[in-house]
A and B are shown apart, each in its own frame.
Chain A
Amino acid sequence: NAGVMQNPRHLVRRRGQEARLRCSPMKGHSHVYWYRQLPEEGLKFMVYLQKENIIDESGMPKERFSAEFPKEGPSILRIQQVVRGDSAAYFCASSFSESAPLHFGNGTRLTVT
Chain B
Amino acid sequence: KQEVTQIPAALSVPEGENLVLNCSFTDSAIYNLQWFRQDPGKGLTSLLLIQSSQREQTSGRLNASLDKSSGRSTLYIAASQPGDSATYLCAVSETMDSSYKLIFGSGTRLLVRP
A→B interface (CB under 8 Å): 3-4, 9, 31, 33, 35, 40-45, 48, 56, 58-59, 91, 95, 98-99, 101-107, 109
B residues at A contact (CB < 8 Å):
4, 36, 41-46, 49, 89, 91, 96-107
Q: Is the interface of B mostly helix, strand, loop or mixed?
A: loop
Q: A42-B4, A42-B107 are in contact. Are A107 and B102 (CB under 8 A)?
A: no
User: Judging by beta carbons under 8 Å apart, are A104 and B104 in contact?
Assistant: no
A107–B45 CA distance with the chains assembled, in angstroms: 12
A43 near B102 with CB under 8 A, answer yes
| Complex contacts, A48 vs chain B, CB 8 Å | 100-101
Q: B96 near A42 (CB under 8 angstroms)?
A: no
Asked whether, in the complex, the Cβ of B100 is within 8 Å of the Cβ of A95, the reply is: yes
A101 to B100, CA, bound (A): 8
A31 touches B107 (CB 8 A): no
Question: CB-nearest residue of chain A relative to B41?
Answer: A106
Contact call B89/A101, Cβ cutoff below 8 A: no
- With A and B bound together, what is the CA distance between A91 and B44 in angstroms? 9
Q: Are B100 and A33 neighbours in the complex by a CB distance under 8 Å?
A: yes
CB pair A102 B100 closer than 8 Å: yes
What is the CA–CA distance of A109 and B36 in the complex, to the nearest angstrom? Answer: 19
**A110 nearest CB across to chain B (Å):** 14
Quick one: given A31-B100, A91-B43, are A43 and B49 in contact (CB under 8 Å)?
Answer: no
